[in-house]
């Protein structure tokens, strides 16, 4: 086996070439593969090798088989979920993190990783308007961050719940969230013993914001039935629509009902960088907890989420801290507060703060401000063009960089709900098969709709124009098929 430094030298040069070539091809390569699961099963159907394989052969297979069929998430023509083009400095920070191989769970295993995580959390807390007592910890993403925050909410509801479980509570605990909230809220309630039926999904208005009068009514009904309102969840950048709930009013409702107020700002939290758009987050500083995903609008590589708490590290420690014998606190130093395993459920933790720290230092507040404002501007441009296109009907308003709409030509307006929903799916599938772009569909008001999110810092107006042309071309094909007797 080669010397360790020589292996890194050889692999570093080869992998750098692969990454550079991949980045250079993003604007031209298909966004989605045409391969089916059976095709990929055939490619990767092999036994565990008896002997090692040369690294050059492994890298050739990566280029020809893995990367060739990967979803083009970094593409400027990817308009799917909140999955951005990663910043190069974040990509290479991941490599540096792997080389150091710190366990960021405890100070003694990762002193600099702990200090950098604490600093990154301070930056994010300050950005969102939290005071000096606030604290936070990184998580794998928004789902885990929501779980951490909702555990804090659950534990606050009754002193003995953390020790005896929810059976210690005098009545059922209830969480309230918009019907636009992320599915992880329901999953978290399940994991925490509250049950999926312990989440009240509150209807939204025609702009997809939670209806606060209905929230108040639902809380009153639960109180009358003897249940305990536990947590109110606000959404700042809903996955389907990008909208932001009326956070100040939700904060008031939570406070009046002695509820924990949690804000899921996994996507929309980045608006705080923008002087033009940060007012949309008014009221977020009143939340007891906030989640924020750097791997969304901060262009940090997967996976990296964060949970922030207003009232300090003790909130997280009370919910999660357990000291195993091999990490006893009796070691005579001030490093205990930098043991991040005490602030969440993960023990072994990757040095994820490095890529966030490097990205924030590289971009600065103004760098993020410029990109976020440009992307929102492009989304408004897309919306205005869709308004001019025959057969397309926009849904809701653009509040972030998400635009939702339907394709409803005259020939489909009198069709069944099922046919209209199927039409949205067929248009999305045709766009995906073209390889020229990738968009998603979602369900709004019980009906299928198209969804576009501009989340790559590489996306320019010409890409949006190309998408509009593609929508027109593929939708015309569907109209033509219907005219020839094809199913709508």
At 102, is the pLDDT very low, low, confident or very high (cuts 50, 70, 90)? very high
Percent of the chain having pLDDT more than 70?
96
3-state secondary structure of 115: helix
Q: What is the tens place of the pLDDT at every residue in 23-81?
A: 999 999 999 999 999 999 999 999 999 999 999 999 999 999 999 999 999 999 999 99
Per-position DSSP letters for 421-444, written without gaps between them: HHHHHHHHHHHHHHTS-B-EEEEE
pLDDT, mean of residues 185-202: 97
pLDDT for the residue numbered 336 = 79
Residue 137 and residue 343: Cα distance in Å, rounded?
7
Question: Which are the contacts of 344, defined by CB distance < 8 A and separation ≥ 6?
Answer: 137, 139, 144, 148, 307, 316, 320
Helix, strand or coil, per DSSP, at residue 261: strand
Residue 10: both structure tokens together: 């050889």
Phi, psi of 168, rounded to the nearest 5 degrees: -75, -20
The distance from CA 112 to its chain's CA centroid, rounded to whole angstroms, is 26
Residue 111 is encoded by which pair of tokens?
Answer: 């002193």
- Write the CA distances from 156 to 30, 47, 142, 311, 434, integer angstroms: 50, 51, 21, 12, 51
Range in 81-85, 476-480, 484-488 the model is least confident about: 484-488
Name the token pair of 327. 């990490």
Residue 487 pLDDT > 70, yes or no? no
Instruction: Measure the CA–CA gap between 230 and 59, rounded to whole angstroms.
Output: 51
How many alpha carbons fall within 13 Å on the CB side of residue 473? 11
CA atoms of 59 and 222, how far apart (whole Å): 58
Task: Write out the H or E segment, with its range, that includes residue 63.
Answer: none
d(CA 376, CA 29): 25
Mean pLDDT of the chain: 94
Q: Tokens 């949970």 label which residue?
A: 307
User: Which residues on adjacent β-strands are paired with residue 200?
Assistant: 176
Q: What is the mean pLDDT of residues 329-351?
A: 81
Q: CA 371, CA 95: separation in Å to the nearest integer?
A: 25
- 213 contacts 250 by C-beta, under 8 angstroms: no
Residue 488 has pLDDT above 50, yes or no: no
Return the SS3 of 301. coil
Task: Go through 9-20 and write b for each residue having 16 or more CB atoms within 10 A of its CB, e for each that does not.
Answer: eeeeebeeeeee
Q: Give the angle subtended at the CA of 293 by the CAs of 289 and 294, to the nearest 5°.
A: 130
In this prediction, residue 483 carries a pLDDT of 56
Q: How far apart are CA 387 and CA 157, in angstroms?
A: 48
C-beta separation of 95 from 273 below 8 A: no
Distance CA(137)–CA(143), nearest Å, equals: 14
pLDDT value of position 323: 76
Can you read off the two tokens belonging to residue 448? 């299928």
Separation CA 328–CA 23 (nearest Å): 47
Q: Which residue has the higher pLDDT, 41 or 334?
A: 41
Q: How far is CA 400 from CA 78, 205, 393, 409, in A?
A: 17, 18, 19, 27
């Amino acid at each position: 086996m080669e010397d360790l430094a020589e292996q890194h030298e050889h692999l570093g040069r080869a992998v750098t070439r692969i990454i550079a070539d991949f980045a250079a091809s993003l604007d031209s390569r298909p966004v989605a593969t045409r391969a089916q699961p059976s095709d990929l099963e055939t490619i990767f159907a092999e036994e565990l090798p008896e002997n090692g394989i040369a690294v050059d052969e492994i890298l050739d297979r990566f280029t020809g088989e893995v990367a060739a069929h990967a979803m083009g998430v970094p593409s400027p023509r990817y308009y799917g979920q909140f999955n951005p083009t990663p910043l190069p400095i974040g990509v290479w920070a991941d490599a540096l993190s792997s080389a150091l191989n710190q366990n960021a769970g405890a100070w003694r295993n990762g002193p600099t990783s702990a200090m950098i995580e604490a600093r990154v959390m301070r930056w994010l807390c300050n950005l969102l308007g939290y005071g000096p007592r606030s604290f936070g910890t990184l998580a794998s993403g928004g789902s885990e961050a929501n779980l951490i925050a909702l555990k804090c909410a659950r534990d606050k509801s009754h002193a003995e719940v953390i020790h005896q479980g929810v059976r210690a509570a005098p009545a059922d605990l209830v969480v309230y969230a918009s019907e636009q909230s992320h599915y992880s809220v329901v999953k978290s309630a399940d994991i925490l013993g509250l049950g999926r039926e312990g989440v009240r999904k509150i209807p939204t208005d025609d702009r997809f914001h939670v209806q606060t009068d209905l929230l108040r009514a639902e809380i009153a009904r639960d109180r009358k039935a003897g249940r305990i309102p536990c947590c109110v969840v606000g959404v700042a950048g809903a996955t389907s629509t990008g909208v932001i709930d009326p956070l100040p009013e939700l904060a008031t409702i939570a406070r009046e009902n002695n509820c924990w107020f949690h804000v899921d700002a996994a996507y929309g939290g980045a608006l705080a960088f923008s002087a033009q758009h940060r007012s949309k987050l008014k009221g977020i500083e009143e939340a007891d907890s906030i989640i924020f995903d750097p791997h969304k609008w901060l262009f940090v590589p997967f996976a990296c989420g964060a949970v922030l708490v207003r009232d300090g590290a003790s909130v997280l420690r009370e919910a999660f801290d357990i000291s195993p014998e091999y990490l006893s606190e009796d070691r005579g130093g001030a490093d205990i507060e930098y043991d991040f395993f005490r602030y969440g459920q993960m023990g072994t933790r990757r040095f994820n703060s490095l890529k966030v720290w490097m990205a924030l230092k590289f971009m600065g507040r103004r760098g993020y401000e410029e990109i976020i404002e440009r992307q929102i501007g492009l989304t408004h441009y897309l919306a205005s063009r869709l308004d001019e296109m025959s057969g397309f009907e926009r849904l809701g308003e653009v509040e972030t960089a998400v635009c939702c709409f339907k394709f409803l030509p005259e020939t489909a307006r009198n069709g069944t709900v099922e046919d209209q929903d199927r039409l949205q799916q067929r248009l999305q599938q045709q766009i995906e098969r073209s390889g020229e772009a990738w968009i998603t569909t979602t369900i709004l008001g019980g009906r299928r709709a198209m969804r576009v999110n501009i989340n790559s810092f590489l996306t320019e107006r010409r890409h949006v124009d190309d998408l509009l042309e593609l929508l027109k071309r593929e939708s015309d094909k569907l109209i033509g098929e219907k005219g020839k007797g094809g199913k709508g």
